[in-house]
């Protein structure tokens, strides 16, 4: 009985080797075509857009932190105000 995904012993090694070599050749071809058709410029443009997006995200992060702190302060004030009222009523 064969395990799941196990190839036949006679032909399995050759088939796996062919798939591996085909993958390597396709990878080299894709890399060559990327470089040939100005891949450097593409990467540069993507990098510029990513830095702009990063700056926007930093601004949004600061706004979110500020709003979170404001909400938390409001919750604290309301909670402690209710707690003081309970203490006054119990006295």
- Per-residue pLDDT of 40-82, as tens digits, reads 787 788 888 888 988 999 999 999 999 998 988 888 888 777 7
Secondary structure element (H or E) that encloses residue 5, with its range: none
Give one word for 7, left, alpha or beta, with left for phi > 0 and alpha for psi -120 to 50. beta
> Is the pTM value of this prediction over 0.75?
no
Percent of the chain with pLDDT over 70: 86
Q: What is the pLDDT of residue 46?
A: 82
Q: How confident is the model at residue 33 (pLDDT cuts 50, 70, 90)?
A: confident
């Amino acid at each position: 009985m064969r395990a799941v995904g196990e190839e036949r012993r006679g032909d399995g090694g050759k088939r796996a080797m062919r798939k591996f070599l085909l993958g390597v050749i396709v990878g080299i071809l894709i890399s060559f075509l990327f470089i040939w058709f100005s891949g450097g410029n593409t990467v540069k443009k993507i990098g510029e857009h990513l830095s702009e997006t990063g700056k926007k995200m930093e601004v949004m992060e600061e706004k979110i932190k500020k709003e979170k702190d404001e909400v938390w302060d409001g919750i604290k004030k309301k909670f402690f105000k209710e707690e003081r009222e309970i203490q006054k009523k119990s006295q």
